[in-house]
Amino acid sequence: MIAVSDLKKAFGNHVVLDGITTEIRKGEVVVIIGPSGSGKSTFLRSLNLLERPTGGHIYFEGVDITDPKTDINLHRQKMGMVFQQFNLFPHMTVMKNITLAPVKCGKMSQQEADHKALELLERVGLPEKADSYPDMLSGGQKQRVAIARALAMGPDVMLFDEPTSALDPEMVGEVLAIMKELARSGMTMAVVTHEMGFAREVGTRVLFINDGNIQEENTPQEFFSNPKHPRLKEFLSKVL
């Protein structure tokens, strides 16, 4: 679904990604871990060109989206993104947050979008919050709405950047539960997280990003029980 070839990203002289090559296959849940500042967000944001790579190529469903001639907006519609800070529109109801994009880009009528939004609110367990504003919701509820909003476009892949890092501990579980359900339904996912339990249980593959590269990449079982790179061993000894 996504193929990343020698991806490079520098901010000025600061090289953050130094030639990353990997792929995300249909139905995979790829979990990305690594130290703070190692480039996890930059990597994830590069996948839908929220960051413009300074080198290399990204192919999404066979199309080179790093080619300047590609209409990125067309492809972005197929990639849902969920951020640490929710990024809901504060002046819009939950319904409006969810229906805005599909209606605006002409994918659905308002009525179709409303119908779909209610279905999605059911799915994330918040049907009663349709007419609420974001500041009336808890952090966990906001993030579940953000997931529903991303799903409203019918994406082929979902990108999550530390979706539970801004939550109070008692709300982490409700968001992880939605993500687990999504994974079980067959959604292709790339997830940056510090939730090692999620990585073990739901991940099909785990990547360790450090020093601008993927230093280790393995099944969760092997990754956690038999880490090879010294930096990964050190990292795991601190977080597990």
Amino acid at 179: M
Q: Of 126 and 214, which CB lies nearer to ligand ADP in the complex structure?
A: 214
User: How far apart (Å, rounded) are the C-alpha atoms in residues 232 and 111?
Assistant: 50
Q: Of 31 and 117, which CB lies nearer to ligand ADP in the complex structure?
A: 31
Closest-CB residue for Mg ion?
41
| Tokens linked to 88 | 């809901």
Could you give the residue ranges of the DSSP H alpha helices within 36-138? Answer: 40-47, 72-76, 94-104, 110-123
Nearest approach, Cβ of 32 to ligand ADP (angstroms)?
Answer: 9
Q: Which residues bind ligand ADP (CB under 6 A)?
A: 11, 16, 34, 36-42
Nearest approach, Cβ of 60 to ligand ADP (angstroms)?
Answer: 20
Nearest approach, Cβ of 79 to Mg ion (angstroms)?
Answer: 17
Q: Which residues bind Mg ion (CB under 5 A)?
A: 41
Only one residue has tokens 């292709």, namely: 188
Q: Of 4 and 44, which CB lies nearer to Mg ion in the complex structure?
A: 44
Amino acid at 8: K
Nearest approach, Cβ of 116 to Mg ion (angstroms)?
Answer: 30
Q: Of 158 and 192, which CB lies nearer to ligand ADP in the complex structure?
A: 192
55 strand-pairing partners: 8
By the 8 A CB rule, do 74 and 49 touch? no
